[in-house]
Structure 1
Amino acid sequence: MSKKDVKKVVLAYSGGLDTSIILKWLQDEYKAEVITFTADLGQGEEVEPARVKAIACGIKPENVFILDIKEEFVKDYVFPMFRANAIYEGEYLLGTSIARPLIAKKLIDIANETGADAVSHGATGKGNDQVRFEIGALALRPDIKVIAPWREWELNSRESLLEYARKHGIEIAQKHLDKDGNPAISPYSMDANLLHISYEGLHLENPSNEPEESMWLWTTPPELAPDEAEYLTLTYKNGDPIALNGEQMSPATLLEKLNQYGNKHGIGRVDIVENRYVGMKARGCYETPGGTIMLKAHRAIESICLDREAAHLKDELMPKYAKLIYQGYWFSPEREMLQAAIDATQKNVEGDVRVKLYKGNVMVVGRESVNSLYDDAYSTFEKDEVYNQKDAEGFIRLNALRFIIAGKNPNRK
């Protein structure tokens, strides 16, 4: 599809630097009607100003879509991912990755509703998000045209974007405060939703530089966190948390509350160098306060509810599942297949987990379930009436039999 064939395009629009410029660029380069979509994913800032800004840029009011999708995000994307205990490369809780398929889905929904023939995003040609947005969109609507301005235009730096904005009179919101407390454009590339906030670029591009303390926005420095520990109880049903300290909550509300506790106690900071799908290594810093608590608690309730081999197989599948999410394959048959297997393990994962929060740490201090496989009649170190310790001898010798046979052959090295 050529530029002249594009009549309507749905833009994933935040109102920030990149997408504000993309909006103008689409109008000028494609001569197309632009429809904006702004997602409220619980990023911690007002999204309504995006409506005013879009209209000021010539977008018809009926073509401005602002959707509160926090509950859908947590219930249908975050919770299924946490049932798998998904972590990418041992540390990253996939906060940005898991939001992209939902945004792609809404872009396609709006395109279908408005008769648009294209969608557009602000991801760069160096990052993972371009893959996530586009694979997601094409999986849901194979005939859609995807416009990725970063792969078309010659604006290849933050300075060139700012110059373009000045030239075309585009107002850029200054949400960041500099060291003197004055409004400024953030020095980092940032992304936020109810699960996490990320930071990349500039000072962080040297992996030996310690992050500046002023960078972290969501968590108290662990050194300044309360000197007294705090206890929480999470209640699980079918592998999902449904209540906090005995109070039932919606998925988004529960995660928001956990974020508040994690923030207070300095929990969830991560500084990693990760392998991007496009090939290079990249340094990123993340804050995932509530998710860090949730992951620890979920593994704790699984430890008493899951069969050993099911738990071990699940742990073997997890890196593949996490990689699929990281690389943008949420809507793939293989992810759906793995999800079905994971969800099948969760039907008996219910009960309460008690955790202790203290200066950046989450410690499990108790877990109980009506479906528990922990039986103290078997596990006790005291006298019991159910386990014959002599049975272990034959068990051990049978498992060692291949070593015994190999050891009797004098020709083997």
Structure 2
Amino acid sequence: MYKIKTKAEKAVLVGLKEEELTELELLVETAGAETILKMTYHDRKIDPAYYIGSGKVKEIKNAAETLQANLIVFDNELSPVQQRNLEDQIEIKVIDRSQVILDIFALHAHSRESKIQVELAQLEYRLPRLQGRGIEMSRLAGGIGTRGPGESQLEVDRRRIEEKIHRLKESLKEIKASRKVQRSNRKDPMVAIVGYTNAGKSTLINNLAAANSYTADKLFATLDSTMRKFELPVGQNIIISDTVGFISKLPHQLIASFRTTLEEIENADLILHLIDASNSDIEKNIKIVNQEIRKLKKSKAKVIKVFNKIDLIKKSKLADFKIIYPNSIFISALKKINIESIIDKLNEVIKSEMIEIELDLPYEKANWVEKIHNQAQVYQEKYQKNNIYLKALVPKIMANKLKKYSREA
């Protein structure tokens, strides 16, 4: 059986600034469409009917007809009314940045959890856009903005969709409860890798933990939270987590539905903020990620900036970064340059949270021996007549629990 290859949609991008459309173009490309024209508009009061002025609407319509475009993509989120009015006037499919991002998430969702999260976000986004859209959706169907639950599902009555949203939320509650139990049973420190999308998080985690998670030079190539365990030179096991990437104007529906995944950041003992050093919008990207970390992070975990892809920038630029960000780490995850500096930093931070103790454990507390071996670095171990002697470097939390068996007690 032969697969029929559909032609890529031809898109006209519309935004306030040319530089902002560069990222939108990459998003559209990731979603499978081809950008044939970028159009900008003046910074003015938002038109409640069309978002932009009627004159610009006509200009877009003429350009789309001339270039035979079949998709218009706005960089800013459109209201349901604005989207409907624009499609009525231009007579081809009109979507916004949020729909493109949601579509990419639908393409890259693989686990049950991420599929539920994406479907929930899509339904909540599309629900207010359903009224009176059945015929138009059929006429303009297909391509970006229509993946995921499917148009037939979205054309059913509002009540059934709301019931579906309720079921998805209940499923996420169960997943959240399961994650909470897993976290409570977790013995090792958690290190979360966060960053702007396509910063190289999966490549880094592969290098650090000799894992094999999917990597690609695409936006949102991986959605599923990846966790790997490995042992530091200090003898402490740590769990390293790669979370979904951030991006400017990330749909609030996605932030809400991916809440359970993003909780890994809140519960991290240490956060590595991975930054693409080769990105021209590096300062903006850093700011966006910092804002999201502040929104999500309840703990006072230390944040360490790690600049990736230094093999793609000039030495002079790297030297400037080292002056501007003096306490940061500079690596190339792909070329495996300076990866050991991350290990050294993790080792240093974890070691600072550990303390050397000498214990005389009663034999009835022998179950602690295995725990200490799993979570600490044991220097000496002797089975004596009345107790077990241990000299070890252990986490401070563990040291407090074992205080009454310490020789210093």
TM-score, normalised to structure 1, is 0.26
TM-score, normalised to structure 2, is 0.26
Structure of higher RCO (CA pairs closer than 8 Å, 6+ residues apart): 1
